[in-house]
Structure 1
Amino acid sequence: MTRPAGNSQEIPEYDISRPARCPLDPAPAMRARQEEAPVTRITLWDGTVAWLVTGWEEHRAVLADPRVSADPFRPGAPKLARSEALFIERLKEQGRTSVGTSFIMMDDPEHARLRRTATAAFTVKRVEALRPATQRTADTLVDRLLDGPRPADLVEAFALPLPSLVISDLLGVPYDDHDFFQSNSQTIINRDSSGDDRSQARRRLADYLGGLLDGKLADPAEDLLSRLAERVKTGDLTREEATEMGVLMLFAGHETTANMITLGTLALLRHPEQLALVRDTDDPKVIAGAVDELLRWLTITHGGLRRVALEDIEIGGRLIKAGEGIIPVNETANRDPKVFPDPDRLDLTRDARRHVAFGYGVHQCLGQPLARMELQVAFPTLLRRVPTLALAAGLDDIPFKHDGFVFGAYALPVTW
């Protein structure tokens, strides 16, 4: 990451503020940069300058280039908020050389080695075997919703417990502890959390998963933590590596999908003609296509990824020098009119399979088959069983997660 030559005001500031009137759309400042060029320079909060990549083709080029690093410890790697920079500093003070909670923030070959140990659990075949149980869970949650008071908070009643129950069962984590892991996850992804708070939340989750892993080492079961424990016994993983992988999968397995269920439901309620397409079909292909379009249109990864060039590279006609920070922005790539005509229109009949909501390249989301399956169950189940579902609050009254690295809503009041 380089400092600007001359007046830094000549380079626009990094601004991910979403519009109050259209909070489901990307930040206007990000769209303005995209209209200017697919690769531009922006000034970060600390005065440093990084490259902002907003075009779909250029976004994929960055994420597929082995000369680009995902390691936030490397010199020049951009920090998108002060809390993020302080978090990395705390880890360095502890003698760490990587963000242990996430192998997605490592480069190959270490990234590939760790990723391979969990790949089998997220194959399409394995995930499809979970669909009947996920359907039963969704139906049970809707039963409770319908038996409960009106209005209700859809986040608390459905969107958050569904993926939390699924990932807890998959990993072998007691769902009774969901308040603990959900609150600590929120601290980690909140931009306003201090570096100390984020570091402590990460440690609490690691201690918790480490204790569960020790139990699996002594008494294995049919779950993913037990399989990671077996990898520790065979020497393929250290105890710390297995623990940190468990933290990542627990964290990512509920937080992102919960926000997609929340925002996807909100988007459909605001587009009733699109909602009807999901509610009135029993064609799995139609549902799968609708989910991909919702993933494209919403793109809850908020504000961009963090990368740094290891060598001089050319992206979108711009020379990015070794050591310069790069921020590929998923939400604008998914609204690129060169790839998705009329990109701001939600169209569930669109072929949106080329979206980059799950990233691209070697760091593409490992759990995307699970997330897709859960969304394919969640939306039709909710809309068919509660056909009169409606918002119970205006858009201005919904508490959106403008303070998070993952966009969503803290609550979604609904009635029926």
Structure 2
Amino acid sequence: MNTEPHPPRDDEGSTGPADAAGVDGDTDPVAEEQERVRAETVRRLERSMGALGTAAVSRMEQRLGWFRRMSAQDRSWIGLVAQSGVAAFVDWFRNPVRGRPAITVEVFGTAPRELTRSVSLQQTVDMIRVVIDVVEGQVDELAAPGGAQQLREAVLRYTREVAFSSAKVYARAAEARGAWDARLEALIVDALLHGDHEDGLQTWGSALSWSHTPVIAVAGETGGEDPGKILDDLRAAARRFGHDVLAGAQGRRVVVVVGVGDRYPEEDLPAAAAEPLAGLFGPGPVVVGPAVADLRAAGASARAAVSGLRAAVAWPDAPRPVLADDLLPERALQGDTEARGQLVEEVYVPLLGAGSPLLDTLSVYLEHASSLEATARMLFVHPNTVRYRLSRIAELTGRTPSDGRGSFVLRVAVALGRLAQTHEG
């Protein structure tokens, strides 16, 4: 019996030298050549990194006017970012198997966060274009023979990642800035309403680039709608009109402080500035505080607007928006001491200073259902005398006794004035 083993057939595989060379020893000549070209290109890039960064900064100085106007410190930071970008590209090009480059950390991590305020996103795009032009202009010299296309494709891919990372950096900075601004706005609005930290208001306003005066406050309600959306809409609308704006939500109440500048006549200022914003509040009354000189004094306007918002329910037919000064009687009846004092100063004191005939005529006229004849009979004067005195009352107070709303304001003001006078006596 023949006990020698049979030679292996072709379909059973083989462990001979030929097969070993075919399985383990085969190499791809094309891949080897690409790696050799890549390695040589990397060596050339490493020798040229400093020159590329310097050339990029020099080209920026030539082509970008805003870059030349920057401070030396900011220009040096940008030069450092350019050098870091070139170095990160060479490192990534050396090891392509790493996948997408970590550009945000490797490149933008070298610059301070404040640089995003000095350089806009559009300016960053301009810088990226300049760097691309510099590198692409030297591809033939930088690449090893036969590697120009390989290097050019790598540059395009890398710069695309730089562009995406730039957008991400600015988006994160804008998100962080927006969140910080919103918190600071809410803090300022709260301080204005409570009369706290008035010395720091100008500093806080400067941090938000506040520059416009005079200032008004507008208060309304959310009406069940999303407060965040209402605040965003109000900010966007106010800024479209060129106003400075601070906005904060307090439960169902929304308060907006607006620096309106000089685009409105002084006599039309509060209502005209608030009119485009009123429709962005939720359902319900919208109350506008009086115009004040600056942000430091805006607390008075904000408190008047909020007081008017609370009292507006007593005047269902009030316009929208309505001035806080037009709600003085309702505010006074609700216990607003500032509204009481304002009514006395603006209505009762002028009438008292004009002499008793005007006050007596007004009292009798209001008590007799606004009847000229009845008032004349009670005072033993001619109806024309009553008419003249009523016109004088309107001139002094800005309120017309024969008007329904005017008579109500005058009645409350006279009552408050007499109470105050009695208390002082």
TM category (shorter chain) comes to under 0.3
Q: Choose 1 or 2 for highest CA Rg.
A: 2
More helix by share: 2
Q: Structure 2-normalised TM-score? A: 0.20
Q: Structure 1-normalised TM-score? A: 0.20
